[in-house]
């Protein structure tokens, strides 16, 4: 899967979990402040990421730094996908 | 509206006096005078239970040979509860030894927080500081390994069902919600055969702060780097260094006093949390480096929080914290001392003075359902 394909899928997942500005999800828009994804909703988003890309997010990786926006989430996923 | 301790009722003055760790001659005289009069023991009993200071009161009353001044049935309750907590705390200390020896074998360092250390080393007797769980500060990077070790010792991350007496293991989603919405991993529980401690609980905190509009930043790894080794009933353990320990107590006190989750359950303002600070300072006055505490709390932005805890501790116990320390920490705007619901965009302001809030359970009636929205969302999500 190319980075572009991953990014597109991540964007769709963010749109699905967003509670604000759903149609305005960009690579660098903050999923918390712009799209209203609070800590509880973030858990749902992480579950969707795991299911979509068949990866496992460890508890130590479960933080806002790794799941801040579409671009950062894409980087996180790319590092965990089989080469 | 009482503004000072001397304006409180006799019963409430007695409660505060008996929540001290050590009593000087003046305190002893005051207690004797108060107890020579007729007292409302139902008020004293309730306040002693809700503020977790009943065992300490019994300890002092016994030492001052004043037990004959207490209504017989009330005295029985005090005596029984003290015995039960002596057994409970002893079992928890044995469990600290079990857990810490396994963690030490694996080279994992955790710091023991609050009551577990205070009961062993600061309070005058093992049963005088009650607690219901073991509280560890951990590096989140060690979280999975620590949980694995606890599971080997029979613990399960989950919730206790009072109705069935069973531990319901939490799902992966529930554990994640707990981790994301709080600064702890899902608690680890273990059933025992001891009727006084049917359930052991271990709380794994990965921060001394809280989530939701927290104005400061304290790095857990930095705290764990400078822990102090202490012996708790033969177990090699660690606590935060003296200044960090005090800052942690202050942060914990403020968090629970000002966040709605604790207020709505009436777990916010408890005398023992202020007594912890007063007693810790009294015990370790020679070790505490106040300059270091002031500098670190300013650097991390926790100075206002520390001031809050120290301010009310002084209001209750006189000059527990040195005046120059209070001056160095004093913020310009002190309005926040009477605010709560800090996780919401706009905190609310208490309508009652501090002592009324401390002793009157009706304070909770001020809290609106609207303000509790975030807290309710968390519990709803965890239930799914």
At B111-145, the pLDDT tens digits run: 999 999 999 999 999 999 999 999 999 999 999 99
**Cβ–Cβ contact B49 with A under 8 A:** no
| β-pair type (B235-239, B166-169) | unpaired
The answer as to CATH 1.10.1200.10 being correct for domain A3-80 is yes
Buried/exposed B288-324: b ≥16 CB within 10 Å, e otherwise: bebeebbebbeebebbbbbbbbbbbbbbbbeebbeee
Q: Rounded to whole angstroms, how far apart are CA atoms A81 and A23?
A: 27
Single out the residue of A3, A16, A78, A81 nearest to residue A47, CA to CA.
A16
In this structure, what CATH number is given to the domain that contains residue B61?
3.30.460.40
pLDDT of res. B111: 97
User: Domain range for residue B41?
Assistant: 5-383
The verdict on a CB contact (< 8 Å) between A46 and B176 is yes
CB B326 within 8 A of CB B277: no
Distances (CA, A) of B379 to A81, B174, B181, B268: 34, 10, 10, 18
For the segment A60-78, the average pLDDT, to the nearest whole number, is 93
CB A11 within 8 A of CB A25: yes
Residue B327 to chain A, least CA–CA distance (Å): 37
- Give the model confidence (pLDDT) of B229-284 as tens digits: 999 888 889 999 999 999 999 999 999 999 888 888 888 899 999 999 999 999 99
pLDDT of res. B36: 96
Single out the residue of B15, B239, B252 nearest to residue B118, CA to CA.
B239
Nearest 5°: CA angle at B50, between B47 and B52?
A: 95
B144 → closest Cβ in A39, A40, A60:
A60
B176 → closest Cβ in A38, A60, A62:
A62
Closest-CA residue of A relative to B184 is A59
In percent, the amount of chain B with pLDDT more than 70 equals 95
The overall average pLDDT reported for chain B is: 93
| β-pair type (B339-340, B235-239) | unpaired
Residue B76, classed as helix, strand or coil, is helix
pLDDT beyond 90 at B150: yes
**For residue A26, what pLDDT band results from cuts at 50, 70 and 90?**
very high
Q: Rounded to whole angstroms, how far apart are CA atoms B251 and B307?
A: 10
Residues of A in contact with B377 (CB under 8 A): 38, 40
DSSP single-letter state for residue A19? S
pLDDT of res. B382: 65
- Give the model confidence (pLDDT) of B298-307 as tens digits: 999 999 999 9
Q: Rounded to whole angstroms, how far apart are CA atoms B320 and B264?
A: 29
pLDDT of res. B1: 67
Residue window 6-65, chain A: list those with CB within 8 Å of chain B: 38-40, 42-43, 46-47, 58-60, 62
The residue assigned the tokens 């919730």 is B159
The overall average pLDDT reported for chain A is: 92
Q: Rounded to whole angstroms, how far apart are CA atoms B199 and A23?
A: 49
Q: Does ipTM surpass 0.95 in this model?
A: no
Q: Rounded to whole angstroms, how far apart are CA atoms B234 and A36?
A: 50
The verdict on a CB contact (< 8 Å) between B173 and A58 is no
CB B108 within 8 A of CB B141: no
pLDDT beyond 70 at B167: yes
pLDDT beyond 80 at B367: no
Among B8-12, B205-209, B343-347, which is the least confidently predicted range?
B343-347
pLDDT of res. B384: 56
In sign, the C-alpha dihedral spanning B86, B87, B88, B90 is positive
**For residue B371, what pLDDT band results from cuts at 50, 70 and 90?**
low
pLDDT of res. B383: 67
Burial classification of residue B10, based on how many CB atoms lie within 10 Å of its CB (0-12 exposed, 13-18 middle, 19 or more buried): middle
pLDDT of res. B361: 82
The verdict on a CB contact (< 8 Å) between A59 and B141 is no
pLDDT beyond 80 at B152: yes
Domain count, chain B: 1
Task: Quickly count: other Cβ atoms within 10 Å of residue B115's Cβ.
Answer: 23
**For residue B346, what pLDDT band results from cuts at 50, 70 and 90?**
confident
- Give the model confidence (pLDDT) of B43-101 as tens digits: 999 999 999 999 999 999 999 999 999 999 999 999 999 999 999 999 999 999 999 99
- Give the model confidence (pLDDT) of A32-44 as tens digits: 999 999 888 999 9
| β-pair type (B235-239, B228-232) | antiparallel
**Cβ–Cβ contact B181 with A under 8 A:** yes
For the segment A54-75, the average pLDDT, to the nearest whole number, is 92
For the segment B212-221, the average pLDDT, to the nearest whole number, is 90
Q: Rounded to whole angstroms, how far apart are CA atoms A31 and A21?
A: 10
Q: Rounded to whole angstroms, how far apart are CA atoms B20 and B274?
A: 10
In percent, the amount of chain A with pLDDT more than 90 equals 73
For the segment A16-41, the average pLDDT, to the nearest whole number, is 91
Q: Rounded to whole angstroms, how far apart are CA atoms B305 and B232?
A: 29
In percent, the amount of chain A with pLDDT more than 70 equals 100
pLDDT of res. B267: 85
For the segment A13-41, the average pLDDT, to the nearest whole number, is 91
**Cβ–Cβ contact B145 with A under 8 A:** no
CB B216 within 8 A of CB B248: no
For the segment B331-339, the average pLDDT, to the nearest whole number, is 94
**For residue B110, what pLDDT band results from cuts at 50, 70 and 90?**
very high
């Amino acid at each position: 899967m190319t980075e572009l394909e991953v990014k597109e899928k991540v964007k769709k997942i963010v749109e699905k979990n967003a509670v604000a500005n759903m149609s305005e999800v960009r690579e660098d828009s903050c999923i918390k402040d712009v799209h209203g994804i609070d800590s509880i909703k973030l858990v749902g988003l992480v579950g969707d990421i795991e299911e979509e890309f068949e990866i496992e997010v460890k508890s130590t990786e479960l933080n806002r730094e790794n799941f801040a926006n579409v671009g950062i989430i894409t980087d996180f996923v790319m590092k965990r996908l089989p080469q | 509206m009482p503004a000072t301790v001397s304006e409180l009722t006799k019963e409430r003055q007695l409660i505060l006096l008996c929540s001290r760790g050590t009593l000087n001659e003046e305190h002893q005289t005051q207690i004797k005078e108060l107890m020579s009069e007729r007292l409302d023991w139902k008020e004293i009993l309730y306040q002693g239970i809700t503020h977790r200071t009943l065992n300490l009161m019994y300890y002092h009353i016994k030492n001052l040979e004043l037990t004959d001044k207490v209504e017989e049935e009330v005295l029985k309750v005090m005596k029984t509860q003290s015995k039960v907590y002596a057994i409970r705390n002893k079992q928890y200390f044995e469990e600290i030894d079990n857990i810490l020896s396994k963690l030490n074998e694996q080279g994992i360092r955790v710091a023991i927080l609050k009551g577990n250390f205070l009961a062993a080393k600061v309070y005058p007797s093992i049963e005088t500081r009650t607690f219901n769980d073991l509280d560890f500060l951990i590096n989140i990077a060690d979280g999975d390994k620590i949980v694995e070790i606890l599971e080997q010792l029979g613990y399960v991350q989950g919730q206790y069902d009072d109705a069935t007496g069973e531990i319901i293991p939490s799902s992966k989603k529930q554990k994640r919600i707990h981790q994301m919405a709080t600064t702890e991993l899902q608690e680890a529980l273990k059933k025992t055969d001891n009727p006084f401690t049917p359930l052991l609980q271990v709380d794994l905190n990965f921060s001394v702060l809280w989530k939701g509009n927290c104005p400061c930043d304290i790095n857990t790894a930095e705290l764990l780097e400078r822990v102090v080794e202490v012996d708790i009933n033969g177990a090699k353990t660690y606590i935060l260094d003296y200044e960090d320990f005090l800052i942690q107590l202050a942060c914990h006190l403020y968090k629970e006093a000002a966040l709605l989750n604790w207020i709505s359950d009436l777990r916010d303002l408890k005398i023992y949390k202020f007594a912890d600070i007063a007693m810790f300072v009294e015990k370790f006055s020679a070790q505490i480096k106040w300059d270091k505490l002031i500098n670190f709390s300013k650097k991390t932005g926790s100075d206002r929080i520390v001031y809050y805890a120290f301010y009310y501790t002084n209001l209750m116990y006189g000059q527990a914290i040195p005046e120059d320390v209070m001056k160095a920490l004093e913020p310009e705007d002190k309005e926040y001392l009477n605010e709560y619901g800090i996780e919401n965009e706009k905190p609310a302001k208490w309508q009652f003075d501090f002592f009324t809030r401390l002793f009157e359970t009706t304070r909770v009636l001020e809290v609106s359902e609207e303000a509790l929205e975030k807290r309710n969302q968390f519990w709803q999500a965890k239930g799914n």
